[in-house]
């Protein structure tokens, strides 16, 4: 991972990070197939992680507190199963008015402010993820596609 990537994830806005990923994609002449997948995927994940970062409420897929947004944390959440879990965690947290399913201190969880799920929800629904029932699975082809998308993003950062 490039040093610049760590600084980018640590403090840049969603738009700045997505713009850099998009610029890197264009400069490497990636296939249009990947280009069409990488930017929306990155935007969907970051639309949740950036607000959590800014609120000091980052956590990993196991629910453990994380102090800063790094490329590694981004890639942990880019696993499609983890991303689906993140969507339901935020959905339930929005409904409860506090951050759920984490081991962050209760006092911090209670300061949670609602996070807009529209980017992530739209992205997941386009990839046949049932947003009503968390226990329903999605096609393995969807999982495999997103492993490829994550690999492309890793090569850019």
Determine the pLDDT at residue 136: 57
Determine the pLDDT at residue 85: 92
Determine the pLDDT at residue 135: 66
What is the CB-side half-sphere exposure of residue 146 using CA atoms within 13 A?
26
Determine the pLDDT at residue 44: 95
Give, in degrees to the nearest 5, the angle at Cα 144 between 141 and 150: 140
Closest CA to 124 of 75, 86, 76, 70: 86
Average of per-residue pLDDT across 79-86: 89
Residues contacting residue 89 through CB under 8 Å, at least 6 positions apart: 100, 101, 102
Q: How many CB atoms lie within 10 A of CB 131?
A: 16
| Tens digits of residue pLDDT in 107-154 | 999 999 999 999 999 988 887 665 666 665 666 667 677 677 888 888
List phi, psi (to 5°) of 30.
Answer: -65, 155
Q: Is the pLDDT of residue 83 over 60?
A: yes
Report how far residue 130's alpha carbon sits from residue 141's, in angstroms, rounded to the nearest whole number. Answer: 15
DSSP, residue by residue, 48-97: HHHHHHHHT--B-TTS-B-SS--HHHHHHHHSHHHHHHHHHHHHHHHHHT
| Tens digits of residue pLDDT in 68-82 | 999 999 999 998 889
Determine the pLDDT at residue 143: 63
Domain boundaries, the chain: 3-156
Closest CA to 49 of 102, 1, 108, 115: 115
Determine the pLDDT at residue 58: 98
| Tens digits of residue pLDDT in 3-60 | 899 999 999 999 999 999 999 888 887 788 888 899 999 999 999 999 999 999 999 9
């Amino acid at each position: 991972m490039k040093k610049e990537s760590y600084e980018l994830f640590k403090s840049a806005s969603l738009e700045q990070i997505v713009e850099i990923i998009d610029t890197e994609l264009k400069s490497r002449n990636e296939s249009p197939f990947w280009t069409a997948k990488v930017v929306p995927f990155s935007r969907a994940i970051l639309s949740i992680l950036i607000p959590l970062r800014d609120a000091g409420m980052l956590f990993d897929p196991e629910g453990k507190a994380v102090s800063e947004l790094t490329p590694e944390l981004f890639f942990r959440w880019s696993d499609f199963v983890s991303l689906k879990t993140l969507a339901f965690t935020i959905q339930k947290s929005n409904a409860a008015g506090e951050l759920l399913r984490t081991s962050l201190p209760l006092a911090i969880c209670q300061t949670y402010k609602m996070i807009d799920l529209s980017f992530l929800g739209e992205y997941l629904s386009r990839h046949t993820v049932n947003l009503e029932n968390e226990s329903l699975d999605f096609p393995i082809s969807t999982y495999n596609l997103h492993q490829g998308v994550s690999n492309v993003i890793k090569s850019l950062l």
